[in-house]
Amino acid sequence: MPPLMKPSQDIPEPPTPPIPSTPPFPVAAPQVEAILLLRESGVLLPLPKGKTDLIIGRSDAARSIYPDIDLAPHGGDAHGVSRRHARLIVEADGVYLEDLNSTNFTFLNRRRLEPGQRYPLRNGDEIRLGLLALEYRET
């Protein structure tokens, strides 16, 4: 039979779990310096810096839709660009393009993209949103 503890004996405290360490410096979001060239007009649209998820489409104030890259002033409506047409995803290993189930489809180098799938972008790739052609260029 185990010995009984005397009431005056201290009961040991359970060990304190370790506190997870945090990195000494914040981890920076991946950066990319790139532009989208509107092929029809030659207008250059720089990708906003510091963002890793960029919506491409056309603004609609009545519905409070304001994409990161707004193609409304560049004929987006006439060319069949959806309000939330596609998105660019910036990661450490590169930039990806994804169709957001747009009405008039997204094409990469003349290949129709499956909605919800990510496709890697390379310098000089042609992106077509509906009938609006753009070129992805890293600077």
Q: What pLDDT score was predicted for residue 11?
A: 66
CA dihedral (118, 122, 123, 128) positive or negative: negative
45 burial via Cβ count (<10 Å: 0-12, 13-18, 19+): middle
Confidence (pLDDT) at 101:
98
Which of 44, 133, 123, 55 has the alpha carbon at shortest distance from 87?
Answer: 55
pLDDT in tens, 13-57: 766 666 666 666 655 667 778 999 999 999 999 999 889 999 999
What six digits make up the tokens of 63? 């519905």
Which residues in 4-63 belong to E strands, given as ranges? 34-38, 44-46, 53-57
**Nearest one of 136, 135, 137, 134 to 71, comparing CA atoms:** 134
Query: pLDDT tens, 64-85?
Result: 999 999 999 999 999 999 999 9
pLDDT tops 90 at residue 4: no
Better-predicted residue by pLDDT, 72 or 139: 72
Residues 74-127 have pLDDT tens digits of 999 999 999 999 999 999 999 999 999 999 999 999 999 999 999 999 999 999
Tokens of 76: 């987006």
DSSP code of residue 92? T
pLDDT at 59 over 60: yes
pLDDT at 49: 87
